[in-house]
Chain A
């Protein structure tokens, strides 16, 4: 009897662990497949496009055509849920909003919109003309059909989209900012994701077109010594794999994809016609160029006036020195890293995506 009892207890304890499983089989509380967004894509203007479509749906037509007819001498609440700003372009607030310096109104403007300083806009702002934010204002999201000027200290929490975006000093872009033409970002501003045909740090003058160094092009043999410790590859594989650090001397010229298991250093005006991958750091001296992608397990430093066709991928940080360029107007690309910093005069064509922190450096922080 004792043995039977022992067996029964043991069996019971064993089965006890299966009770939750048996209950789950019967009740089927968590059976759905892992959700996958079938329509998901990584398009930078996704939110802006969606919002514009929403506005168009509520207004019953293209906002650029409908909104001008809605503007009156007074601000009012439209049936779509938007507050239509009056002809002055300056939104009006009630006493409570003025006291709290924040509003939950969704603003829609048909004229140039001037937002007050220090105000928080908890809902989206839509303008078919220019939008000028006040200093230190906080915007949840803003869609502007023309030029968006974010005054110093402003913050965008989710997204901003415009034809042109001017991000003032010490602004903070916490989500994404996308422009159809140009983004200019001034020193001290921080960002996460920027997308535009041209992104200029400092001023538009620095956002020139494609730049390729063509001075001092030594023959390939000049770089040959640097490739002495390359690993032999199978027939047909045109890559160059170097076990250890690789230094391409000034003016050196390499054709083909290059992989270095150590650091990769490109001297002044050195050129790689191909893509590169380094298992450590990529350091580009002034006027060096990479006519392809650049991938680094650690950091990428793009020297003054240096160029990378792109994409640029670093698993730690990217630093763009003054005059450096990523991508071209005709071949826009991406530069992605947890941390991106750029000096005035640097520019990019396409996307800059800093997963953790992106900074427009001041002159005083310039390394070179």
Chain B
């Protein structure tokens, strides 16, 4: 293969090339023979090519042969950058999983069983929850917490079904233990409802449950115990799908939840990084909440937003892996897509609002800062994966991929990102084994379906957020998650 360098970008004028490789002659015709393609390299790239030729002559020859200018270089740089980002997340997930498998585990607060417990308000967020709210109220009335310090407040947010009737029936039976908040107007959404309800809170701690949750007897104390630590502003427990056996989607989500909580959250707790407050099955210190401005109702992911506001103000989030509570996961793909699109938009909102403040924050260690940024960037990775696919395909057809055969590089990239970052699968598998489940690990390859759906949904949500939502009313729109449990 011969190569012709050209300093001049006007070969079409019939000027002879300035240099030629051995064995190559100058042809009389204007069109170069197929094996002697000219390369229109700007001058600054020639130095790089020369350097490469000293180290790897064949490689240099190939690159210069295939280069078609800055466009290709830019595409290459993007692909390398995207691969680097994915590699960082891959390493992160591997670190988390290996930490859970082999390192010391931190559960510093779990053994606090006797204490002068703080006053506590438990919110049950309810919008048309007639099917499930009775179970939540019954469970909370049975909770192991000093009665004189516990207030249970169902937040009935503009329900149009029998939620209010059911709540009032419970209040009539337990007048001293339940203090309902019936909200009949106002901005829609859980955050807005909680914001309004906070005006009636006089306790030191609040816990928020969704109405479909059924907390165990000891859960309240477990979620409050970490708040004896004056640095902790919020606590997160573990949610466990109760409808995992419904269909393939719920089984896949059950696996994802296992990985996310059993490994991801707990590893971040072990490593002193940034566990995330999830908005339910979690407690918040009221004074911390007030310090950071209370609930914000202009974000889609109010839990993520609160996590970062607390972090930036010097509070920490504690994760309690053994504080478990059942929840319902979506049983239909359409519902799942809506859920993940909302999470995406919410996360991206938080990324824009708080991302830059993390860098210079005096309360965070360098590792915390790195993890905080990576956590916020999770939903930005999916569009990058798609962009990487497109670029790789383009580079392949341009025959512009370096390092040997283009097909190999493309394959490597696809294998890496198509499998969805193998480390995530490792994480899920480790989590499922730690949960002492075995058979469901066989479903692991099918998580590819979930990841693919997520990649597309997240990318779609990001695109909508960037280009469409500004001119439509689709920005801050809360879609109530469908409930599947029948009333008991």
Answer whether residue A234 sits at the interface, using C-beta atoms and an 8 A cutoff.
yes
Question: Does A21 sit within 8 A of B, measured CB to CB?
Answer: yes
CB pair A236 B290 closer than 8 Å = yes
- Interchain CB contact under 8 A, A333 and B116: yes
Residues of B within 8 A of A336 (CB): 108, 111-112
B254 close to A33 (CB less than 8 A): yes
The chain A residue sitting closest to B438, CB to CB, is A30
Q: Which residues of A contact B393 (CB under 8 A)?
A: none
Give the residues in chain B near A37, CB-CB below 8 Å.
216
Q: Considering residues A274, A293, A332, which has the most beta carbons from chain B within 10 angstroms of its beta carbon?
A: A293
Q: Determine if B115 is an interface residue (Cβ-Cβ < 8 Å).
A: yes
Q: Tell me how far the C-beta of B59 lies from the nearest C-beta in chain A, rounded to whole angstroms.
A: 30
Is A310's beta carbon under 8 Å from chain B? Answer: yes
- Inside 8 A of A40's CB, which chain B residues have their CB? 216-218
Are B245 and A277 interface neighbours, CB within 8 A? no
Instruction: Report A195 CB to chain B, min CB distance, Å.
Output: 7
Are B114 and A333 in contact, CB atoms less than 8 angstroms apart? yes
Select the stretch in A73-81, A107-115, A348-356 that faces chain B: A348-356
Segment at the interface with A among B4-12, B44-52, B185-193, B227-235:
B227-235
Q: Please encode chain B, from 345 to 384, with 1 for each CB lying within 8 Å of some chain A CB and 0 for all others.
A: 0000000000000000011000000000000000000000
**Scoring B residues 57 to 86 as 1 if CB is less than 8 Å from chain A, else 0, what string do you get?**
000000000000000000000000000000
- The verdict on B248 contacting chain A, using a C-beta distance below 8 Å, is yes
Choose the segment among A41-49, A83-91, A167-175 that binds chain B (4+ C-beta atoms closer than 8 Å): A41-49
Contact of B291 with A236 in the complex, beta carbons under 8 Å? yes
B214 at the interface (CB under 8 A from A): yes
A20 at the interface (CB under 8 A from B): yes
Any chain B CB within 8 A of the CB of A334? yes
Q: Name A1-20 residues within 8 Å CB distance of B.
A: 17-18, 20
Q: Pick from B241, B244, B258 the residue with the most CB of A within 10 Å.
A: B244
- Which residues of chain A are near B324, meaning CB under 8 Å? 34, 36
Contact A311 B228 (CB under 8 A): yes
- List B contacts of A38 (CB < 8 A): 139, 214, 216-217
B173, CB-defined interface residue at 8 Å: no
Q: Which of B14-22, B28-36, B146-154, B442-450 contacts A (4 or more CB under 8 A)?
A: B442-450
Q: Which of A148-156, A217-225, A237-245, A281-289 contacts B (4 or more CB under 8 A)?
A: A237-245
> Is B313 on the interface with A (CB-CB < 8 A)?
yes
- Decide: A239 and B230 in contact? CB cutoff 8 A: yes
Residue contact A33 to B112, C-beta cutoff 8 Å: no
Given contacts A41-B144, A259-B231, A313-B228, contact A31 B245 (CB under 8 A): yes
B245 touches A258 (CB 8 A): no
Query: Pick the contact of A243 from B243, B362, B446 — CB < 8 Å?
Result: B362
Tell me if A331 is interfacial: C-beta within 8 Å of chain B.
yes
User: A44: which B residues are within 8 A, CB to CB?
Assistant: 113-114
Q: How far is the CA of A21 from the CA of B445 in the complex (A)?
A: 7
Task: List B residues 221-266 near A (Cβ within 8 Å).
Answer: 221-222, 225, 228-231, 240-245, 248, 251, 254, 258
Q: Are B445 and A18 in contact (CB under 8 A)?
A: yes
Q: A-B pairs with CB below 8 Å: how many?
A: 157
Q: Chain B contacts of A236 at CB under 8 A?
A: 287, 290-291
- Contact between A18 and B326, CB atoms less than 8 A apart: no
Contacts of B225 in A (CB 8 A): 311
| CB pair A310 B115 closer than 8 Å | yes
Q: B144 to chain A: closest CB distance in Å? A: 4
**Contact of B442 with A24 in the complex, beta carbons under 8 Å:** yes
CB neighbours (8 Å) of A277 from chain B are 229-231
User: How many chain A residues touch B (Cβ–Cβ < 8 Å)?
Assistant: 57
Residue of B nearest to A314 (CB): B108
For B439, the chain A residues whose CB sits under 8 A away are 24, 29-30
Which residue of chain B has its CB nearest to the CB of A348?
B114
Verify B443–A25 contact, CB threshold 8 A: yes
Using Cβ atoms and an 8 Å threshold, which residues of chain A touch B325? 36
Question: B216 to A23, Cβ gap below 8 A?
Answer: no
Question: In the complex, which residue of chain A has the Cβ closest to the Cβ of B290?
Answer: A236
CA–CA, A31 to B363, complex, Å? 43
Question: Could you tell me which residues of chain B, from 70 to 126, have a CB within 8 Å of some CB in chain A?
Answer: 106, 108-109, 111-116
Neighbour of A231 across the interface among B287, B292, B314, CB < 8 A? B314
**Residues A21 and B218 in contact, CB atoms below 8 Å apart:** no
For B216, B292, B439, the residue with the greatest tally of chain A CB atoms inside 10 Å of its CB is B439
Q: Point out the residue from A195, A313, A332 that lies within 8 Å of B109, measured CB to CB.
A: A313
Residues of B within 8 A of A315 (CB): 106, 108
Query: Contact mask B299-325 → A, CB, 8 Å, 1/0?
Result: 000000000000001100000000011
Whose C-beta in chain B lies nearest to the C-beta of A39? B217
Nearest to A313 among chain B residues (CB) is B108
When distances are taken between beta carbons in the complex, the residues of chain A under 8 Å from B13 are none
Q: Which of A31, A33, A34, A274 contacts B230 (CB 8 A)?
A: A274
A234 touching B214 by the CB < 8 A rule? no
B-contact 0/1 string along A266-290, CB 8 Å cutoff: 0000000011110000000000000
Q: Which of B216, B290, B363, B444 makes the CB contact (< 8 A) with A36?
A: B216
Of A42, A292, A310, which contacts B222 at CB under 8 A?
A42
Chain A hits for B139, CB < 8 A: 38
Name A41's closest neighbour in chain B (CB-CB). B218
A32 in contact (CB, < 8 A): yes
Contacting A at CB under 8 A, from B253-281, are: 254, 258
Alpha-carbon distance A20/B445, docked complex (angstroms): 9
B440-471: which have CB < 8 Å to A? 440, 442-446
B419-452 vs A, CB cutoff 8 Å, 1 = contact: the mask equals: 0000000000000000101111011111000000
Is A104 part of the contact surface with B, judged by Cβ < 8 Å?
no
Contacts A30-B438, A236-B290 given; indicate if A21 touches B245 (C-beta within 8 A).
no
Q: Residue on A with the closest CB to B254?
A: A33
Q: Report the nearest B residue to A274, measured CB to CB.
A: B230
CB of A353 within 8 A of CB of B116, answer: no
Closest-by-CB residue of B relative to A233 is B314
Indicate whether A71 reaches chain B with its CB closer than 8 angstroms. Answer: no
Contact B216 A351 (CB under 8 A): no
- Please list 29 pairs of residues, one from A and one from B, whose beta carbons are closer than 8 Å in the complex, sorted by A's number: A21-B442, A21-B444, A21-B446, A24-B439, A24-B442, A25-B248, A25-B251, A28-B245, A30-B440, A32-B245, A33-B241, A33-B242, A34-B240, A36-B325, A40-B216, A42-B113, A42-B221, A43-B218, A233-B314, A234-B292, A237-B287, A237-B288, A313-B112, A313-B228, A334-B114, A334-B115, A350-B115, A351-B114, A353-B113
The 10 closest A-B pairs by CB, nearest first: A30-B439, A41-B218, A31-B245, A257-B230, A20-B442, A350-B114, A336-B111, A293-B228, A24-B442, A41-B144
